[in-house]
């Protein structure tokens, strides 16, 4: 299966039957033969003879087989390049293999390092999860040269068999595309080696998920009584919903100075650094919100520079802030899942508060421009697109009403 021959040089993946290990397995190596001289390069994989025979019959590529294939193509590509230049010899081949640094693994690690340096913790986790995922498929040393449209399709198929969602596949492939775009811009790869071009690999996309809850669901959530710990997180979710769907990052860092003339006034952290997009959002401070502040926060009489809720303290650096937000959201989502199970409804998360706020207003006939302003969107087109995936229930309701004589 893995064989290559050019200008009297052959490359083949073989089982080294001379060296059976204590566990009964044999190492798989890449054999290079030139002028009757044989050199063997390790793949880091061991197999039984039966497993080796099964590789060629299997309809699905395994993790181990993918790693062997990756090692084969790394060596084959270097042999082919040297042969085309008429410069092949084993010393040069070994030198090139030892100095290869243009790997997908290294590129993803570099992005992780950059994210940590700039305290972009969410991006760091995205690149880290992508690195772990590609290494499960292709091993610890994946040359950019071998990442083709075909390789990406095999990788996608492997992740699908792992049970990864379309959203996760989208995250992984966008991270890979990002490092390839940088490699292209820096001249590390040629245009023809960019697998995400117009006629290249298409990143999977998923239909908009229905995250919004109905008013009846929200009523059940609001009235639920049970474990005090779950009630605490439920109340924070309710505050987020009532406060124009404020995200948890912004809510955690609300200060008393954000309470102005009976309203919560804030700028979304997501857009605060975007030129021309730092809109002030105002949410009326309702009696329910005041109750939540009194019960779950520090009360209504805090100092201007104090945080309303008790999670943050003092001046928090960006990295520490991101870690705190992730921790809070994780705890809240765990509690919300238990609450949903107890009520008998589908699981929902912190992000459902924002979608629910917008959708409930829309279904109540509120003007789209008001919803747009409340969400902090720069124009109504963004809001219309945001709400586009949540009209199915309404369409079905209207369709059924056609026969309500």
Structural domain boundaries of the chain? Answer: 3-99, 104-193, 215-401
Cα–Cα distance measured from residue 144 to residue 159, given in angstroms and rounded to the nearest whole number: 19
Cα–Cα distance measured from residue 364 to residue 57, given in angstroms and rounded to the nearest whole number: 60
Show the tokens assigned to 37.
């001289």
Q: Kindly report the backbone phi and psi dihedral angles of residue 309, in degrees, each rounded to the nearest multiple of 5, phi listed first.
A: -100, 165
Cα–Cα distance measured from residue 389 to residue 263, given in angstroms and rounded to the nearest whole number: 30
Cα–Cα distance measured from residue 123 to residue 114, given in angstroms and rounded to the nearest whole number: 10
User: What residues of the chain score a pLDDT lower than 50?
Assistant: 100-101, 274-275, 405
Show the tokens assigned to 310.
């008790």
C-beta contacts of 336-341 below 8 A and 24+ residues apart: 336/233, 336/234, 336/237, 338/227, 338/230, 339/221, 339/224, 339/226, 339/230, 339/234
Q: Residue 358: which of 210, 250, 167 has the closest Cα? A: 210
DSSP secondary structure letter of residue 191: G
Cα–Cα distance measured from residue 281 to residue 272, given in angstroms and rounded to the nearest whole number: 12
Say if residues 313 and 307 touch (Cβ distance below 8 Å): yes
Sign of the Cα torsion 154, 157, 162, 164 reads positive
Q: Residue 329: which of 360, 302, 354 has the closest Cα? A: 354
376: left (phi over 0), alpha (psi -120 to 50) or beta: left
pLDDT at 115: 85
C-beta contacts of 347-353 below 8 A and 24+ residues apart: 348/211, 348/213, 348/217, 349/211, 350/237, 350/240, 350/247, 350/248, 351/211, 351/247, 352/211, 352/212, 352/213, 353/237, 353/240, 353/241, 353/245, 353/246
pLDDT at 274: 45
Cα–Cα distance measured from residue 393 to residue 397, given in angstroms and rounded to the nearest whole number: 6
- Kindly give, in sequence order, each residue whose CB lies less than 8 Å from that of residue 251, ignoring residues fewer than 6 positions away: 236, 239, 240, 243, 309
Say if residues 175 and 127 touch (Cβ distance below 8 Å): yes
Cα–Cα distance measured from residue 142 to residue 136, given in angstroms and rounded to the nearest whole number: 11
Instruction: Give alpha helix (H) positions in 186-286.
Output: 215-223, 228-242, 248-252
Identify the H or E element spanning 334: helix 318-343
Report pTM: 0.61
Show the tokens assigned to 264.
């919560």
Say if residues 45 and 27 touch (Cβ distance below 8 Å): yes
Q: Which residue has the tokens 């390839």?
A: 180
Q: What is the DSSP string of 357-394?
A: HHHHHHHTT--HHHHHHHHT-SSHHHHHHHHGGG-HHH
Please tell me whether residue 309 adopts helix, strand or coil conformation: strand
Show the tokens assigned to 51.
């497993």
Q: Which CATH number fits domain 215-401: 1.10.8.590, 3.30.750.80, 1.10.443.10, 3.30.300.30?
A: 1.10.443.10
Q: What burial class does residue 6 get, using C-beta atoms within 10 Å of its C-beta: 0-12 exposed, 13-18 middle, 19+ buried?
A: middle
Beta pairing partners, 265: 282
């Amino acid at each position: 299966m893995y064989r290559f021959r050019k200008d009297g040089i052959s490359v083949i993946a073989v089982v080294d039957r001379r060296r059976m290990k204590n566990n009964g397995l044999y190492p798989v190596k890449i054999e290079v033969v030139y002028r009757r001289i044989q050199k063997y390069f390790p793949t880091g994989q061991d197999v039984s003879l039966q497993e080796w025979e099964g590789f060629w019959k299997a309809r699905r590529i395994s993790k181990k087989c993918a790693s062997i294939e990756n090692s084969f193509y790394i060596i084959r590509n270097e042999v082919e390049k040297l042969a085309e230049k008429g410069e092949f010899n084993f010393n040069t081949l070994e030198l090139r293999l030892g100095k290869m640094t243009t790997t997908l693994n290294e590129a993803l690690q570099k992005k992780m390092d950059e994210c940590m340096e700039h305290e972009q913790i969410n991006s760091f986790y995205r690149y880290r999860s992508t690195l772990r995922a590609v290494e499960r498929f292709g091993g610890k040393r994946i040359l950019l040269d071998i990442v083709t449209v075909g390789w990406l399709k095999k990788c996608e198929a492997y992740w699908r068999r792992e049970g990864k969602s379309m959203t996760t596949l989208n995250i992984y492939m966008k991270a890979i595309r990002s490092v390839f775009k940088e490699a292209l811009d820096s001249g590390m790869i040629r245009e023809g080696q960019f697998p995400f071009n117009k006629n290249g690999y298409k990143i999977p996309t998923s239909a908009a998920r229905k995250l919004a809850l109905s008013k009846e669901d929200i009523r059940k959530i609001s009235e639920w009584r049970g474990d005090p710990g779950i009630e605490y997180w439920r109340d924070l979710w309710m505050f987020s919903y009532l406060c124009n769907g404020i995200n948890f990052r912004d809510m955690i860092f609300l200060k008393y100075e954000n309470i102005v003339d009976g309203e919560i006034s804030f700028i979304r952290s997501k857009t605060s650094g975007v030129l021309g997009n730092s809109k002030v959002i105002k949410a009326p401070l309702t009696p329910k919100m005041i109750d939540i502040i009194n019960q779950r926060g520090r009360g209504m009489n805090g100092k201007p520079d104090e945080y309303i809720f008790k999670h943050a303290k003092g001046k928090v650096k960006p990295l520490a802030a991101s870690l705190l937000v992730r921790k809070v959201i994780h705890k809240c989502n765990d509690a919300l899942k238990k609450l949903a199970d107890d009520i008998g409804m589908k699981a929902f998360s912190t992000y459902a508060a924002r979608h629910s706020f917008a959708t409930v207003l829309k279904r109540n006939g509120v003007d789209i421009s008001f919803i747009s302003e409340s969400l902090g969107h720069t124009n109504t087109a963004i809001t219309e697109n945001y709400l586009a995936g949540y009209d199915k229930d309404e369409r079905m309701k209207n369709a059924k009403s056609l026969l309500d004589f």
